[in-house]
Structure 1
Amino acid sequence: MAVVSARPLGGLRIVECASFVAGPSCGMALGQLGADVIRVDPIGGGADYHRWPIAANGSSLYWAALNKGKRSAAVDLRTERGRELLMALVTAPGPEAGVFVDNSVGRRWLSYPALAARRADLIHVRVQGHTDGRPAVDYTVNAEVGVPLITGSEETAAPVNQVVPAWDLVTGMTAATGVLAALHERTATGRGAYLELALADVALAGVANLGWLAEAELRGAERPRHGNHLYGSFGVDFRTHDGERIMVVALTAGQWQALRTVTGTGEVLTALEQATGADFSRETDRYQMREAIAAILRPWFAAREFSEVRNRLDAARVLWARYRGMVEVVAAHRAGCGESVLTSVDQPGIGPTIAARSPLRWAGCYLEAFPAPALGQHTEEVLAEVLGLGQAEIGALYDDGVVAGPC
């Protein structure tokens, strides 16, 4: 699969003033599609500039991964001149400019009315914690919507947090959708837009859109925990003779039949249906009898080496996957042939490192990936290009500590 250099959002300029995951992932997604995303960073870096995971030299792998392909201007926003620079960058003229993404709190000078007074067609997307302005992060909103209380094994009463900040990532993609929707409206009407997006709303909408809140209301009780069993269908992990662990799922009647056939358990499972009145062609019945079904299937996996299990499941078109650690994922990518969403970039301050392209493929091709900038790498370039400042003006800003170049 080839990698193409086409940039669908080429020419669009976005100013980003955001930290942590949601806001930066929005800018990253748009930047991977070709937008010129200018990060305005505090001199010395923001709250997430040194966030873990980190490289051996202390550089943040997290920050580098979320800011791929952007430009960075380092500005002291505590100063009046620094605030003026940011406002000027956000409201600079041009049909494909005037787009701002931030998660700032308490900066009245950076409010939509203040910015729109300078550019009436401004598009401003503000990422928040809660709609009332209270702070939140993925791990707090996830606790609030109930997911940790239905996660984990049946034996534990303690909540189980998810490792992936899923709500942050969904918020970032929702923010990107908002930017594109507002751009479409501006093209059609000439109007700007102010969009607010609360992380807590994204999490609530997520569990509601899956029917989980409706289920809780009708049940009047929490959904039971099932460990690695798939809720509402059949799916669970099995161990092979040589100690490998795999996840097997049978969502459809065809997948269920394939699993029965390859494991040679059809007669036993049919007897179980007859004894219990269940019909395993129905997803609900497979779910309700999950423990008994797993007990019947488990010996088949336990008696075979992984290589045999893999070959037979693949031949039967069973839906399955082997559990892998991330070290193995990286090794498989390094040893692999052909194109994938993963690639390598030469990251300043870190060196060659694994990175991801946009998962979107255009005409079957991935777009090119670029490294994150060094902090303040493009300060002079942005001030000259976007604001038209001359060398003397830029030099004075450097001398007065209002802006900074790469560290």
Structure 2
Amino acid sequence: MERPSYVYNLLNYLRIVECASFIAGPSCALHLHQFGAEVIRIDPIGGGPDFKRWPLSPEGDSFYWEGLNKGKRSVAIDLTKPQGRELATEIITASGPERGLFVTNFPKNGFLAHHALSKLRPDLITVRVAGWADGSSALDYTVNAAIGLPYMTGPTETPDQPVNHVLPAWDLLTGAYAAFATLAAERHRRMTGIGQEVTVPLSNMAMASLGHMGQIAEVLTGGDRPRMGNALFGAFGRDFVTADGERVMVVAITAKQWSGLLEALQLHAQIAQIEATYNVSFARDEGVRFKFRTVLFPVFERAIEVLTLPALKSVFEPNGVCWGAYQSLSRSLREDPRLSLQNPLFQMLDHPSGHEYPAPGAAASLNGSQRCAVRRAPRLGEHTDEVLAEVLSMSDAQIGALHDAGIVANA
């Protein structure tokens, strides 16, 4: 059998079995694959609940599913039937020193419960992505609503109207953290021979992240943070409009960024006058810049609104100003060389949807390792026969009987 090629070959001794939908679980296995691990997906015949999730191609295929499952192998099994469930458990618990790694977001109890699977393989590692820590259902957007962030986001004029953001941050962070937890548990098993269940709830990821950033302490000692539009909390930063109608985000957190910004816009004298008036210094303390933002912002508005975007760039770039123009994703892909699809991150692929478009590999660049080819997502059940023969040593006759009984399917 031709072995798949990977973005990096650091983990090519590991086999991960994935039985998961939506973002966190599949992205966990995707991260592991892009560093070399083999990933076998167990898919319901006809596809799981995210198999047709938007964004869709004009023909109705999911670009979302294609993106999250690049390079994986797919085995299609009827999990509603006892024989299908037994087959899935055999794949998950198959023998081998680098096997027995299972990533899922299925409920904690049921036929994929760790205590049931570990009876077949005691050193099994199950990494289970969950919604709430108590096991109740949640998605990124419901967790985000519960922890209060939508009340910190949005215009100051509507403080009681929550504003959702479009990036599923807790899903993405949970998937990355689950990949890290998988490798930590696997390393522990190598040293001790002991498997375990690792549970990574979205809610824990969200609350831990807020705690790491000091926001829980902030609330407990001073109350909820009010929304402040596009102003950056705790430092100088906001959106400004140029003479040609472009909108830019300008940030000055460090002393060097602040001095560079003043030099670029020739504002030393005006800022010195404000400092003298209020007996403060903005040079070293970003918190002071934040406290006096309502005084500072009009000064920068007047300086920026008379410059076109090209003129602004010509003074910002030489002075190391931290800034960025607001632009649509389509514009950034066409015009921004920093986000170019020519980046070695991307590889042009023909996808199962029939569309050719660039697919990203691993986001990290390892100077001591060679990048290998990115592989497209599988067609549903594309590797069913191959995996049954390879992992479970089934004969053609046995595999044929499973097809005849409707237990498995291929592409």
What is the CA–CA distance in structure 2 between the aligned matches of 1:248 and 1:343, rounded to whole Å? 33
Paired residue for 2:245?
A: 243
User: Contact 2:8–2:371 (CA<8 Å) still a contact in 1?
Assistant: no
- What do residues 182-229 of structure 1 show as CA deviations (whole Å, max 9, x unaligned)? 11011111111111111111111111111101101101x211211111
Q: Pairwise mapping of residues 18-37 of structure 1 onto structure 2 (< 5 A)?
A: 18-37=20-39
Which of 123, 139, 142 is 2:144 aligned to? 142
The 1-side partners of 2:343 and 2:216 are apart by 40
**SS in structure 2 of the partner of residue 110 of structure 1:** coil
User: Equivalents in 1 of 2:155, 2:346: separation in Å?
Assistant: 33
Match of 1:254 in 2: 256
Deviation at 1:368, TM superposition (A): 3.2
- SS in structure 1 at match of 2:42: strand
Instruction: State the partner residue of 1:356.
Output: 360
| Contact residue 348 and residue 357 of structure 2 kept, 8 A | yes
Equivalent residues in 2 for 1:2-41, closer than 5 Å: 6-41=8-43
1:192 to 195, 207, 211: 195
**Do the aligned partners of 1:10 and 1:35 also contact (CA within 8 Å) in 2?**
yes
**What SS class does the counterpart of residue 46 from structure 2 fall into?**
coil
Q: CA deviation at 1:245?
A: 1.2
Q: List aligned pairs for 1:95-134, cutoff 5 A.
A: 95-105=97-107, 107-134=109-136
Q: Which residue of structure 2 aligns with residue 301 of structure 1?
A: 304
Q: Is residue 46 of structure 1 aligned with residue 51 of structure 2?
A: no
Cα distance in 1 for residues equivalent to 2:372 and 2:362: 7
Distance 1:366 1:212, change over 3 A: farther
Deviations along 1:131-156, whole A, 9 cap, x unmatched? 22110000000011111111111111
The equivalent residue for 1:72 is: 74
Q: Is the 8 A contact 2:333 2:340 kept in 1?
A: no
* Equivalent pair of 2:70/2:374 in contact (CA under 8 Å): yes
Deviation, structure 1 residue 43 = 0.4
Judged with a 3 Å threshold, the aligned counterparts in structure 2 of structure 1 residues 144 and 43 are, in CA distance, closer, same or farther, namely same
Whole-angstrom CA distance in 1 between matches of 2:110 and 2:7: 40
> What's 2:217 paired with?
214
Q: Structure 1 residues 349 and 114 mapped into 2: Cα distance closer, same or farther (>3 Å)?
A: same
Counterpart of 2:394 in structure 1 is 389
Q: CA deviation at 1:337?
A: 8.0
Partner residue, 1:289: 292
- The structural deviation recorded for 1:232 is 0.1
Instruction: In structure 1, list runs of 5 or more residues that go unmatched.
Output: none
CA distance in 1, matches of 2:343, 2:146: 40
In structure 2, the partner of 1:370 is 375
Calculate the TM-score normalised by the size of structure 2.
Answer: 0.95
Cα RMSD after superposing both structures: 1.7
Q: How much does 1:5 deviate?
A: 5.4
Aligned residue in 2 for 1:320: 323
User: Residue in 1 aligned with 2:273?
Assistant: 271
Cα offsets for 1:162-201 (capped at 9, x unmatched): 1100000011011101110011011111111111111111
Evaluate the alpha carbon distance shift between residue 240 and residue 4 of structure 1 in structure 2; reply closer, same or farther with a 3 A threshold.
farther
Paired with 1:366 and 1:239, the residues of 2 have a C-alpha distance of 41
Question: Would you say 1:329 and 2:356 are equivalent positions?
Answer: no
Equivalence for 1:225: 227
- For residue 339 of structure 1, what is the aligned residue in structure 2? 343
Query: Identity over aligned residues, as a percent?
Result: 42
CA contact (8 A) 2:151 2:163 kept: yes
- Residue 356 (structure 1) shift: 1.5
Distance (Å, rounded) in 1 between the aligned partners of 2:202 and 2:55: 23
Distance in 2 separating the partners of 1:4 and 1:356: 12
| Alpha-carbon contact 2:7-2:362 (below 8 Å) kept | no
The alpha-carbon deviation at position 247 of structure 1 amounts to 0.8
Distance in structure 2 (CA, Å) of the matches to 1:136 and 1:262: 47
SS at match of 1:195: strand
Tell me if structure 1 keeps the 8 A contact 2:6–2:71: no
Residue identity opposite 1:16 in structure 2: E
Structure 1 match to 2:63: 61
- TM-superposed CA distance for 1:336, in Å, is 4.5
Contact 2:7 2:34 in 1 (8 A): no
Aligned residue identity for 1:399: D
TM-score normalised according to structure 1 size: 0.95
Q: CA deviation at 1:106?
A: 6.2
Count of matched residue pairs: 403
- The one-character-per-residue Cα deviations of 1:338-396 (angstroms, maximum 9, x if unpaired) are 53423322111232123211111111765532211111111111111100111011111
Structure 1 Cα separation of the partners of residues 167 and 340 of structure 2: 25
Tell me which amino acid in the other structure corresponds to 1:348. P
CA distance in 2, matches of 1:370, 1:170: 23
Shift of 1:332: 3.8
Letter in 1 for 2:366: W
Show CA shifts across 1:111-135 (max 9, x none): 1111111111111111111122110
**Which sits farther off after the overlay, 19-28 or 272-281?**
272-281
Cα pair distance change 1:253/1:367, threshold 3 Å = farther
Residues 5 and 368, structure 1, Cα contact 8 Å, conserved in 2: yes
